[in-house]
Structure 1
Amino acid sequence: MNWAEQVKNSHGWDAATRKLMLAGKALPILDEQDRSDSHYIEGCESPVWLKVSIDEQSDQVSIEAYSPGKIVRGLLQLVIEPLQGQPVQTFCNFDLLMYISELGLTRLLSPSRNNGVLKVIERLRALQRSLGSC
C-alpha cells in the first residue's frame, strides 16, 4: 500500500500523523546544493524546496523535495508519490487538486499547513502548464 493510502486509511489524527512522519522518512533528501532560491517555495509553514527534472531520454519526471519539518516531509512525499517517475504526459494530465481532495488531508491539517500544501501544488501546476508537451 502506498503512503497516500496508508494516511487516508488511518483512523484518527494521531495515526495519520504517525504515517505522515514515516512517509517523510521515505522522501529522498534533496542535496544541499539544490536547496537554492530557485527551488524554494514561499508561503509554507516550514521551509520547502522542490526540484523537478525531466530525463530527456526516458521522458520521465523526477521530483526531489526537502523540508526540515517531519510532517511537511511526509506531506511532500504524498504529493510527489503519484508523479515520481511518470512520463511527462502523465505528469501533465495528473489532477493534483483532485488527488489531494480525495486524500482528505484538509481534515488532518491546520489551515497554515493546508496553505503550504497548496503552495507546493501551485508550483507543480505551474510546471505542468509550462511544459510544451502538455
Structure 2
Amino acid sequence: MTSNALPLAEQLILAKGWDNMLRQLMLAGKHLRVLPDVTRTDSTEVKGCQSRVWLTLEKSPVDGCVMLAWSDSKIIRGVLAIIQEKVNSLDAEALAKFDFPAYFSAIGLDRYLSQSRANGIKDVVARIQG
C-alpha cells in the first residue's frame, strides 16, 4: 500500500483511466452511511459546492475525529468517502495540519476533478479544518 493511502484511496491509485477512476469513486461512495434528514440542515450543508453536500465533524481527544458526510451526487459521495476515510484516521491535531491537496495529488484524485468540483472539495476541506 502507498505510504499514507488507506484502502479506498488505494483503489484510486490502482485505477487506470477516467472510467476506472469514476467506477472506483462510485464504489467508494457506497461506504458512506446516509445522513438522516434531521442531520441535513442549513448548518451542516457546505455552501459553494456544485452538488449538495452535508457534513458533520466531531473532534475528541480520546476518539480522534469522526466525520459523517452525504451528497446528492454519486461521484461526490465517492470523494467524500475518500476524505472521510482519511479524516477518521486522524486525531484533531493531525487533522488541522493535514495537507489534503498533497494527498489528493498522491492518490491521483486531483487529475479527475473538474474545476467546479475541485472548488467544492476545497470548501469541504476548509469546513473540516476550520
TM-score, with length taken from structure 1: 0.84
Letter in 2 for 1:60: G
Query: 1:45–1:113: 8 Å Cα contact kept in structure 2?
Result: yes
Q: 1:14 to 1:82 in 2, by over 3 A?
A: same
Structure 1 residues without counterparts, runs of 5 or longer: 127-134
Counterpart amino acid of 2:27? Answer: L
Q: How does 1:88-99 map to 2 (within 5 A)?
A: 88-99=92-103
Correspondence 1:1-134 to 2 at 5 A: 2-55=7-60, 58-126=62-130
> Which residues of structure 2 form unaligned runs of 5+?
1-5
Residue in 2 that maps onto 1:132: none
* Count, aligned residues: 125
Cα contact 2:12–2:108 (8 A) shared by 1:
no
RMSD: 1.6
Same amino acid, percent of matched pairs: 38
Q: Give the partner amino acid of 1:73.
A: R
Q: Conserved in 2, the CA contact under 8 Å of 1:44 and 1:113?
A: yes
TM-score (norm 2): 0.86
